[in-house]
C-alpha cells in the first residue's frame, strides 16, 4: 500500500504541479463517497476546495493533499480555536506583566530623595508655626467671627470645641484640660447675652488646681458679665477680663492660682470705627506651647 501511494504521489506531482512550485504536505479530512474517499484541503475562509491539488485514491485510507508551501490552509474550526488560544495567552501575559509591575518599588535617585526630604514640610500639632519642645502642650484658640462663624479650640492636635462638632454657643466657650496629662476634663458654652451668669460662676468656682482653662468668645461675651465673674477670671491669670464688654473679641488660656498673669491672652474692643465686621471686631487667633505641669 505504501509503495502504491508513493508512486501515485510522484505521478501526481510530475503531471499536475507547476514546475518550480514549492510544495507542502498536510493530512486532510476524508469524506466518504461510496467506496471512494477524497482528501479535501480547505482554503483560509473555509468555503472552497482546491481540487486541482487534490489527489483521489481508491484506497481504504486518505491520501496526501498538496498545496503551495507559501500558503496555509486550515479548517475554520481550527482557525477559531487558534485565535481563541492566542487571545487567552495574550491576556495572561498582559495580566502577569501588570501584576509584576504593580509589585515593583520605584526608587528615586539618592540625591532626589534627599532633596524631597529636605523640602518636606513638617506637620505640627494644631497647625502651629513650629513644633513645641518636650514637656509642652500645643494649643490653638480662635474666637468667633461676628455672629456667623463659631469659635474653635485645639489642644495637642485634638479639636475640643468647634462649629463642626456642634458644641459651641453664643457668649463664652470654655474647656478644662488636665495640666499633667493633657486630657479634657470638662467643657461648656455660656450665653452671656440672655443666659444665667450664675451658671458660669458655679463652673469657674469648681475648677480644681492643676487644670488649664481655655476660653474663646463668640458674638457677645460681655453683656451678662459681672464683678464676680471678672474676679474669677482675673484669678486664673487674665489681664483683660475686667474690660470685657458687649461684642468684644477675647481668647485666653490660664490656670487656677497663677502667681503672675498669663502670657496667653488676646483682646479686641468692639469699636464701630475699627470693626472689621459690621458691629463686631475681627476674630482673634492665639497659639502657643504651654508647659506641662510636673508634680
**206 torsion bin: left (phi>0), alpha (psi -120 to 50), beta (else):** alpha
Among 219, 220, 263, 226, which residue's Cα sits nearest to residue 241?
A: 226
Question: What string of pLDDT tens digits covers the 295 residues of the chain?
Answer: 444 444 444 444 444 444 444 344 333 444 443 333 334 333 333 443 333 333 333 333 344 444 444 444 556 777 788 888 888 888 888 777 765 544 444 444 454 444 444 455 568 999 999 999 999 999 999 999 888 899 999 999 999 999 999 999 999 999 999 999 999 999 999 999 999 999 999 999 999 999 999 999 999 999 999 999 999 999 999 999 999 999 999 999 999 878 899 999 999 999 988 888 888 999 999 999 999 986 4
Long-range contacts of 258-262 (CB under 8 A, 24+ apart): 261/237, 262/236, 262/237, 262/238
Residue 261: phi and psi, rounded to 5, are: -70, 145
Helix (H) or strand (E) holding 17: none
Cα 132 to Cα 64: distance, rounded to the nearest angstrom: 92
- Centre a 10 Å sphere on the Cβ of residue 117 and count the other Cβ atoms it contains: 8
**Mean pLDDT score across all residues of the chain:** 76
> What does the DSSP assignment read for 22-85?
-EEEE--EEEEETTEEEEE-B-TTSS-B-GGG--EE-SSS---EEEETTS----HHHHHHHHHH
Q: What is the pLDDT of residue 80?
A: 80
Task: Give 182-216 pLDDT, tens digit per residue.
Answer: 999 999 999 999 999 999 999 999 999 999 999 99
Q: What is the pLDDT of residue 27?
A: 38
Biggest CA–CA distance in the chain, Å, is 131
Helix (H) or strand (E) holding 87: helix 76-102
Q: What is the pLDDT of residue 62?
A: 41
Q: What is the pLDDT of residue 3?
A: 45
Amino acid at each position: 500500500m505504501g509503495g502504491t501511494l508513493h508512486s501515485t504521489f510522484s505521478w501526481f506531482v510530475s503531471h499536475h504541479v507547476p514546475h518550480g512550485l514549492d510544495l507542502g504536505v498536510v493530512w486532510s479530512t476524508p469524506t466518504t463517497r461510496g467506496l471512494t474517499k477524497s482528501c479535501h484541503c480547505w482554503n483560509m475562509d473555509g468555503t472552497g476546495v482546491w481540487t486541482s491539488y487534490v489527489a483521489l485514491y481508491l484506497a481504504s485510507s486518505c491520501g496526501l493533499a498538496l498545496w503551495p508551501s507559501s500558503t496555509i490552509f486550515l479548517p475554520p474550526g481550527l482557525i477559531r480555536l487558534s485565535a481563541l488560544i492566542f487571545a487567552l495567552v495574550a491576556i495572561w501575559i498582559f495580566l502577569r506583566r501588570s501584576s509584576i509591575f504593580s509589585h515593583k518599588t520605584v526608587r528615586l535617585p539618592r540625591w532626589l530623595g534627599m532633596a524631597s526630604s529636605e523640602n518636606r514640610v513638617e506637620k505640627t500639632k494644631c497647625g502651629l508655626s513650629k513644633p513645641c519642645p518636650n514637656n509642652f502642650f500645643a494649643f490653638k484658640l480662635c474666637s468667633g467671627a461676628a455672629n456667623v462663624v463659631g469659635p474653635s479650640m485645639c489642644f495637642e492636635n485634638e479639636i475640643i470645641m468647634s462649629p463642626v462638632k456642634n458644641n459651641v454657643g453664643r457668649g463664652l466657650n470654655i474647656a478644662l484640660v488636665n495640666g499633667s496629662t493633657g486630657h479634657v476634663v470638662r467643657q461648656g458654652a455660656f450665653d452671656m447675652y440672655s443666659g444665667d451668669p450664675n451658671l458660669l460662676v458655679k463652673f469657674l468656682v469648681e475648677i480644681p488646681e492643676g487644670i488649664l482653662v481655655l476660653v474663646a468668645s463668640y458674638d457677645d461675651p460681655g453683656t451678662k458679665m459681672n464683678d464676680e465673674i471678672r474676679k474669677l477670671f482675673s484669678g486664673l491669670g487674665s489681664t483683660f477680663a475686667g474690660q470685657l464688654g458687649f461684642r468684644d473679641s477675647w481668647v485666653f488660656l490660664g490656670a487656677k492660682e497663677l502667681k503672675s498673669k498669663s502670657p496667653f491672652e488676646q483682646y479686641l474692643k468692639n469699636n464701630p470705627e475699627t470693626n472689621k465686621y459690621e458691629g463686631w471686631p475681627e476674630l482673634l487667633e492665639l497659639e502657643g506651647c504651654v508647659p506641662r505641669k510636673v508634680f
